[in-house]
Amino acid sequence: MADNLSDTLKKLKITAADKTEDSLEGCLDCLLQALAQNNTETSEKLQGSGILQLFASLLTPQSPCTAKVANIIAEVAKNEFMRIPCVDAGLISPLVQLLNSKDQEVLLQTGRALGNICYDSQSSKEQFASTNIAEELVKLFKKQIEHDKREMIFEVLAPLAENDAIKLQLVEAGLVECLLEIVQQKVDSDKEDDIAELKTGSDLMVLLLLGDESMQKLFEGGKGSVFQRVLSWIPSNNHQLQLAGALAIANFARNDGNCIHMVDNGIVEKLMDLLDRHVEDGNVTVQHAALSALRNLAIPVINKAKMLSAGVTEAVLKFLKSEMPPVQFKLLGTLRMLIDAQAEAAEQLGKNVTLVERLVEWCEAKDHAGVMGESNRLLSALIRHSKSKDVIKTIVQSGGIQHLVTMATSEHVIMQNEALVALALIAALELGTAEKDLESAKLVQILHRLLVDERSAPEIKYNSMVLICAVMGSESLHKEVQDLAFLDVISKLRRHENKSVAQQASLTEQRLTVES
């Protein structure tokens, strides 16, 4: 086989030069056979032989062998190590030109070849960015009427559009206008091809908005015609368009300026109307997308109060019944963003027994780490932002204390910290109510462990000592602190390199000495 292959490659070099069709076709068939038997080895040989450079001349002008050459390139480009060599051999431009072909087989193989060369390969996408492929593909796309050809171009566009530089080139080449036109043409059709094209077109639109530059260019300060058109998708009756519209808004909502502009211009009401249409037996992907958009919009401080008075919490709480983890996750994130530093809203939600009980239930969602983490963080946020005795009582009665204590041992420092601050507020405001739960959750033992552990971050040590001082007002917890010889650990921390930790250690030591 190996000798055979070497002969074939030698022969191919000669016949490629004088383009004798018959013998050329024979060589290409041998090569395809060799690739079918051992793709990697054959590709390595091919690369070593310098044949790739010849392929560019075999692709244009189109000949009876063109489809086979494109097929070989597609096969070879299944190997990651061959993708850059294909670009370096100058194959992109002739392949793109072939997308104009009338021959179905040539089209198929060319699409495969381009798709494989840019598949999952960051570096080959970067190389693509320096060719004019974006412009060529968009030009070609504008010319196509047949569904199959458009789908073929879509298949090449989608992986390319994952590269931010190419996203921008595609936007500048006018792809967005083409996509908007497709959406307009196909939105009311129930033909299978049209439905498929509507989905591909609107998905690609959302993908283009994932790049910061391309997104900002299309937003045009909220005045852009593209942004306005996408807005009109949200109230449509087509689920695919509602989904794409909500995802697009979530993508536009990636910086504060855009978020503030959109909230001031009524986007929140549109998203709430959309959610309302999907409460009962709703479409889960639409729910998830609309909640994602609301969560992002709630990040700027100035938007929180506006969204709260628009009734976003009520709209979101309708989905508490959802059994879908992605929806649960976004719902929790949206509420957590909304109550950040909003005491009144945090208090209102924290006294909502239905919500708090559902949070406690989700804190045990072992199969869904995201939902579990967000539920814990929301529980803690309700206490931290409301500083309300009523909220703490509701959380104690619903069995939330155990989860906050466990959260203090999280592997994420930010979550540990949020838990410790919430627990310190509980100890300061409602120690009597929470005492038994704190005891059975083994709070004191956990704090001892956090202080002894050298890997604990300085803020964790600091907040653990604050919490130790706060629980001294409880007789049973005080006794646990004494039994565990905290003084030894804390006197060591007086020499800690972090000033705040060292200072808090001195204060805590005094407190423990006085109370012992």
- Do residues 137 and 100 make contact, with C-beta atoms less than 8 angstroms apart? no
Closest CA to 170 of 118, 209, 199, 203: 209
Calpha distance 282→274 (Å, rounded): 10
The whole-number average pLDDT for the span 132-155 is 82
Distances (CA, A) of 463 to 231, 447, 473: 46, 10, 17
d(CA 245, CA 237): 12
**Residue position matching structure tokens 């690609």:** 204
pLDDT of residue 76: 94
Q: Is the pLDDT of residue 134 over 90?
A: no
Token pair, residue 425, equals 């507020």
Closest-CA residue to 505 (of 495, 490, 516, 487) = 490
Tell the burial category of 433 from Cβ atoms under 10 Å away from its Cβ (0-12, 13-18, 19+): middle
Q: CA–CA distance from 93 to each of 96, 330, 453, 460 (Å)? A: 5, 44, 60, 58
- What pLDDT does residue 301 have? 95
Q: For residues 315-341, give the mean pLDDT.
A: 96
H/E/C letters for each residue in 40-94?
Answer: HHHHHHHHHHCHHHHHHHHHCCCCCCHHHHHHHHHHHCCCHHHHHHHHHCCCHHH
| Bigger pLDDT: 482 vs 347 | 347
Q: Is the pLDDT of residue 1 over 60?
A: no
Residue 124 has pLDDT above 80, yes or no: no
Given a cut of 90, whether residue 47 has pLDDT beyond it is no
The predicted structure's pLDDT at residue 121: 65
With tokens 């309700």, the residue in question is 382
Residue type, 93: S
pLDDT at residue 2, as a whole number: 55
Question: Picking from 133-147, 165-179, 314-328, which range would have the lowest pLDDT averaged per residue?
Answer: 133-147
For residue 452, give both structure tokens.
Answer: 């002894």
For 170-233, give the DSSP string.
Answer: HHHTTHHHHHHHHHHHHTT---HHHHHHHHHHHHHHHHHTTSHHHHHHHHGGGT-HHHHHHHHH
**What percent of the chain shows pLDDT beyond 70?**
97
Is residue 355 within 8 A of residue 320, CB to CB? The reply is yes
What pLDDT shows up at residue 516?
Answer: 67
Q: What is the pTM of this model?
A: 0.84
How far is residue 257's CA from residue 301's CA, in Å, rounded to a whole number?
A: 12
Count CB-CB contacts under 10 A for residue 256: 13
Q: Which two tokens stand for residue 34?
A: 């060799």
Return the CA Rg of the chain: 31
How far is residue 272's CA from residue 292's CA, in Å, rounded to a whole number?
A: 12
> Which range, 26-30, 212-216, 225-229, 434-438, has the best average confidence (pLDDT)?
434-438
Q: Please, what's the b/e burial string for 70-107 (b: 16 or more CB within 10 A of its CB; e: otherwise)? A: bbbbbbbbbbeebbebbbebbbbebbbbbbbbeeeebb
- CA 426, CA 466: separation in Å to the nearest integer? 12
Compare 16 and 44 and report the one with higher pLDDT: 44
**What is the chain's percent helix, strand, coil content, to nearest 5?**
80, 0, 20
Q: What is the sign of the dihedral through the CA atoms of 312, 317, 319 and 324?
A: positive
Whether the predicted pLDDT of 248 surpasses 90: yes
Residue 61, preceding bond cis, omega within 30 degrees? yes
Q: What is the mean pLDDT of residues 153-166?
A: 85
In this model, does residue 485 exceed pLDDT 80? yes
Tell the residue number behind the tokens 């001294």, with chain if given: 472
Worst-scoring range by mean pLDDT, 59-63, 302-306, 350-354?
A: 59-63
Per-residue pLDDT of 419-453, as tens digits, reads: 999 999 999 999 999 999 999 999 999 999 999 99
Quick check: 438 and 478 in contact, CB under 8 A? no
Residue 402 has pLDDT above 70, yes or no: yes
So what's the pLDDT on residue 19? 62
Q: Cβ distance 206 to 244 under 8 Å?
A: yes
Q: At a CB cut-off of 8 Å and minimum separation 6, what does 123 contact?
A: 83, 84
Q: How far apart are CA 449 and CA 427, in angstroms?
A: 19
Determine the average pLDDT of the residues in 40-68.
Answer: 86
pLDDT at 17 over 70: no
| Residue 447: how many other CB atoms lie within 10 Å | 27
Which helix (H) or strand (E) segment holds residue 136: the answer is: helix 133-143
Whole-number pLDDT of residue 368 = 93
* Closest CA relative to residue 35, chosen from 64, 72, 3, 62: 72
Q: At which residue do the structure tokens 């001082």 appear?
A: 469
For 117-125, what is the mean pLDDT? Answer: 73
Distance between CA 475 and CA 515 in Å, rounded? 11
**80-101: pLDDT as tens digits:** 899 989 988 989 889 988 887 8
